[in-house]
């Protein structure tokens, strides 16, 4: 599997990331480095403990990384969960909606990381 095929397999936008980062070597290095990012693990732990402040911080970070690497599917699902959690301090959290959105983030994260492992 090459880098373009990797992106296609999980619904990423290879052309977008290529237009910004220019070199496949750099993109591949950053994509593989994504596997060591701990944001998803922090999100999972926070969701399990219903710690919505920590969940917000973790998913917001994961969203940013996903956007920078043009992982479009993961970017969309993390954006949705980020917006649901955004006002966790001032408004009640819709726990059912968060759980559903977290399931989508998890599925998208698994698709991305699975493809990256195949790329390695």
User: Which structure tokens are listed for 103?
Assistant: 């399931």
What is the torsion angle, in degrees rounded to the nearest 10, for the CA atoms of residue 43, residue 79, residue 84 and residue 52?
20
Mean pLDDT of 92-118: 97
Domain ranges within the chain, ordered by starting residue: 3-119
Is the domain spanning 3-119 CATH 1.10.3470? The answer is no
55, burial (CB in 10 Å: exposed 0-12, middle 13-18, buried 19+): buried
Instruction: Give the chain's mean pLDDT.
Output: 96
pLDDT of residue 54: 97
The CA-atom distances, in angstroms, between 63 and each of 40, 49, 92 are: 10, 21, 22
Which ranges of the chain does DSSP label H, i.e. alpha helix? 3-10, 14-21, 24-33, 39-48, 52-68, 72-85, 95-119
pTM: 0.94
pLDDT of residue 89: 84
Contact indicator for 56, 86 with CB cutoff of 8 Å? yes
Tens of pLDDT, residues 4-58: 999 999 999 999 999 999 999 999 999 999 999 999 999 999 999 999 999 999 9
Instruction: Give the confidence band of 88 by pLDDT, cuts at 50, 70, 90.
Output: confident
Among 19, 116, 105, smallest CA distance to 62 is for 105
């Amino acid at each position: 599997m090459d880098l373009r095929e990797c992106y296609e397999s999980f619904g990423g936008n290879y052309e977008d990331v290529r237009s910004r980062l220019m070199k496949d070597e750099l993109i591949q290095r950053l994509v593989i480095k994504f596997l060591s990012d701990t944001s998803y693990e922090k999100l999972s732990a926070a969701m399990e403990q219903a710690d919505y402040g920590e969940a917000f911080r973790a998913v917001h970070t994961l969203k940013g990384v996903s956007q920078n690497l043009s992982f479009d599917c993961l970017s969309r699902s993390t954006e949705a969960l980020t917006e649901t959690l955004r006002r966790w301090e001032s408004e009640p959290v819709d726990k059912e909606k968060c759980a559903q959105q977290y399931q989508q983030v998890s599925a998208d994260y698994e698709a991305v990381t699975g493809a990256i492992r195949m790329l390695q």
